[in-house]
Amino acid sequence: MTPWHAVSLLTCTAIAVSITWCGATGQEKRFLAAVDKPVTVSLVRASSAGAVGGGTVHVVVTVSGFQPSPAGPVQAVVYVQCNGSKVEIGRFGILPQTPFSASEPSKAQRFSLTLSPNTPCKRPESVTIRVVPTHGDGRGATLEIGGAELQ
């Protein structure tokens, strides 16, 4: 084998491994929430996130897609779960109420909710997101959740 062939083989192998690795890690798990179907997502901890009480802590929810209800507007209600208890930490809405789907993670919408230092849950394990109608029954509305992070 000539040095040129060896370099070509090594380069092709590196590219193949890179494509496989990027494909495996570039995929994010997504969860679909609807009016009658809340989703629970494990919290990923940012390296700087600690227990609540040592500063402001945020839960950042990533929304990768949205389908509005033809019956009226909806909002998301977010709860943290810790030690068997569930506490509402905030709400958000998608405006305008038009459908979207993020073709890649960088195009998703992110919503930051402050976790109060007074919450009984100091180290939340997961969040539950419910789709709740503000008018009408909310039928057909869905939120595609790309993940949740504690920051």
What structural domains and CATH numbers belong to the chain?
29-150 (2.60.120)
Hey, what are 146's tokens? 């790309």
pLDDT, average across residues 52-72: 88
Instruction: Find out whether 97 and 43 touch, Cβ atoms under 8 Å.
Output: no
Q: Does residue 28 register a pLDDT over 60? A: no
Query: What is the maximal distance between C-alpha atoms in the chain?
Result: 72
**Whole-model pTM?**
0.75
Q: Does residue 13 register a pLDDT over 50? A: no
pLDDT tens digits along 93-145: 999 999 999 999 899 999 999 988 877 777 888 999 999 999 999 999 999 99
pLDDT, average across residues 4-24: 35
Residue 48: predicted pLDDT: 58
